[in-house]
């Protein structure tokens, strides 16, 4: 696979479209809620609200001119969240200096992986079945999603459940549950746009981790991506975590390390 600037641009553009769909989902679930989003160039600015999972720019190179920087920062300030940029390893040194000069620092990192959908993956080590989420399985999916991502923390469960309900009807995405026997043990999502299959929302309940649930979800979604004619499958993972290790074992290639750079929410452009 050739990893070049056009591929990175496709990944950025499709990721931006998906988060705009996500923000639309939040606005449907909470018409009077704080979620705000807008496209900008080929990217997107998304502010779902304080304490929620996505409050940053996606696919927007940090600008070199003051006026554009003020415009982008002002979006977040007006939304009541700290200005935040997703910056990958292809960013220019001048853009990084500009962020540092304006008080931005790295908040966290994540890794971006790609593969051809026909890549061979490991077999699951247990009998795991994967099912698309239809009307009869929405509650199962929301429950396993919330428990797997938020654990036993009630406030985090609320954030996770809201996210799931907002994502439930996004047009480019299909959700899945994984079962062992009759028990729902994991979940995952597949978003198809512009020939790219984004694999996300993948989680396993703690008691069932290390038993091949993620592998089964990965195999199923990659087959569907191949059937849909996608030429690229993409996924992100936190550095050093089990998801990244699973992706590498399954033939995915690391193509970028994204840094999310944020500055404190202070009085800024309006």
CATH of the domain at 136: 3.40.630.30
Helical pair 154-167 and 5-29, crossing angle rounded to 10 deg = 100
Whether residue 129 contacts residue 220, with contact meaning beta carbons closer than 8 Å, is answered with no
| Number of residues in the chain | 270
Q: Can you give the pLDDT at residue 154?
A: 85
| Weakest-pLDDT range from 118-122, 190-194, 203-207 | 118-122
Q: Can you give the pLDDT at residue 175?
A: 98
pLDDT at residue 268 is higher than 70: no
Mean pLDDT of all residues in the chain? 92
Q: What is the mean pLDDT of residues 168-187?
A: 95
Q: What is the mean pLDDT of residues 150-157?
A: 88
Q: Can you give the pLDDT at residue 270?
A: 39
- Distance between CA 204 and CA 127 in Å, rounded? 15
Are 153 and 226 members of one domain?
yes
- The pTM of this model reads 0.93
Q: How confident is the model at residue 88 (pLDDT cuts 50, 70, 90)?
A: confident
In a domain, 182, yes or no: yes
* 90 vs 224, higher pLDDT: 224
Are 161 and 92 members of one domain?
no
CB within 8 Å of 21: residues ≥ 6 apart: 170, 171, 172, 173
What's the structural domain count of the chain? Answer: 2
Q: What is the mean pLDDT of residues 4-22?
A: 93
Percent pLDDT > 90 in the chain is 77
- Distance between CA 3 and CA 82 in Å, rounded? 32
Whether residue 50 contacts residue 79, with contact meaning beta carbons closer than 8 Å, is answered with no
Q: How confident is the model at residue 124 (pLDDT cuts 50, 70, 90)?
A: low
Q: Can you give the pLDDT at residue 20?
A: 98
Are 47 and 83 members of one domain?
yes
pLDDT at residue 73 is higher than 50: yes
In a domain, 140, yes or no: yes
* 121 vs 229, higher pLDDT: 229
* Domain that includes residue 64, residue range: 5-109+258-262
Q: How confident is the model at residue 111 (pLDDT cuts 50, 70, 90)?
A: very high
Q: How confident is the model at residue 91 (pLDDT cuts 50, 70, 90)?
A: confident
Q: Can you give the pLDDT at residue 269?
A: 41
Are 226 and 133 members of one domain?
yes
In a domain, 245, yes or no: no
Are 151 and 183 members of one domain?
yes
pLDDT at residue 266 is higher than 90: no
In a domain, 242, yes or no: no
């Amino acid at each position: 696979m050739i990893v070049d600037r056009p591929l990175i641009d496709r990944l950025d553009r499709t990721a931006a479209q998906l988060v705009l769909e996500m923000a639309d989902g939040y606005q449907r679930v909470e018409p009077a809620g704080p979620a705000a989003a807008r496209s900008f160039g080929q990217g997107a600015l998304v502010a779902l609200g304080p304490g929620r999972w996505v409050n940053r720019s996606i696919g927007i190179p940090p600008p070199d001119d003051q006026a554009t920087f003020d415009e982008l920062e002002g979006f977040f300030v007006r939304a009541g969240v700290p200005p935040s940029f997703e910056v990958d390893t292809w960013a220019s040194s001048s853009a990084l200096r500009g962020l540092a000069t304006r008080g931005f620092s790295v908040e966290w990192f994540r890794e971006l992986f790609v593969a051809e959908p026909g890549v061979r993956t490991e077999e699951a080590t247990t009998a795991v079945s994967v099912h698309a989420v239809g009307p009869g399985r929405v509650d199962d999916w929301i429950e396993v999603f919330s428990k797997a991502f938020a654990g036993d923390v009630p406030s985090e469960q609320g954030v996770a459940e809201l996210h799931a309900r907002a994502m439930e009807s996004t047009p480019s995405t299909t959700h899945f549950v994984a079962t062992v026997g009759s028990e729902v043990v994991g979940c995952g999502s597949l978003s198809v746009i512009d020939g790219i299959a984004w694999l996300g929302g993948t989680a396993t309940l703690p008691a069932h981790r290390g038993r091949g649930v993620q592998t089964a979800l990965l195999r199923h979604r990659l087959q569907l991506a191949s059937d849909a004619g996608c030429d690229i499958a993409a996924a992100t993972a936190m550095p050093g975590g089990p998801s990244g290790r699973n992706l590498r074992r399954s033939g995915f290639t690391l193509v970028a390390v994204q840094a999310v750079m944020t500055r404190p929410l202070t009085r800024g452009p309006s």
